[in-house]
């Protein structure tokens, strides 16, 4: 596993592109307490790590883990509200990921707008 490229969205939330199971130990070692996976399984084909494999590694590393798959081109109001709730309720800091990190950034901006 190479070291993930992480972008800080706030003091408690960071975004990354696709993470693999090995990245969960890295996330825990770097102080993250929670991981949100916003990438649907097999979005890019069968070589993409599955939610189940990443979740197992996250749990083994002592992380809270949530699977909230959303489409790249559209995030519904319900998905945005769910993401906002996760940002409020999960232990921080939070590392959220998707294919490139852009979807997480859009979700974060929309969720932040909900809070006003």
Tell me: the pLDDT tens digits for 38-97? 999 999 889 999 999 999 999 999 999 999 999 999 999 999 999 999 999 999 999 999
Domains detected in the chain: 6-115 (3.90.190.10)
Structure confidence at residue 44 (pLDDT): 86
CB of 16 closer than 8 Å to CB of 97: yes
| Model pLDDT, residue 79 | 97
Q: Is the pLDDT of residue 99 over 90?
A: yes
Query: Is residue 116's pLDDT more than 80?
Result: no
The answer to pTM > 0.85 is yes
Indicate if the pLDDT at residue 1 is higher than 80: no
């Amino acid at each position: 596993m190479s070291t993930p490229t992480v972008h800080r969205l706030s003091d408690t939330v960071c975004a990354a592109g696709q993470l693999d199971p090995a990245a969960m130990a890295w996330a825990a070692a770097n102080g993250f307490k929670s991981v949100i996976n916003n990438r649907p399984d097999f979005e890019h084909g069968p070589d993409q790590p599955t939610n189940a494999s990443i979740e197992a590694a996250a749990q083994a590393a002592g992380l809270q883990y949530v699977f909230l798959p959303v489409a790249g081109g559209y995030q519904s109001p319900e998905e945005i509200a769910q993401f906002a709730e996760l940002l409020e309720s999960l232990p921080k800091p939070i590392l959220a990921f998707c294919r490139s990190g852009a979807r997480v950034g859009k979700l974060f901006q929309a969720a932040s707008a909900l809070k006003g």
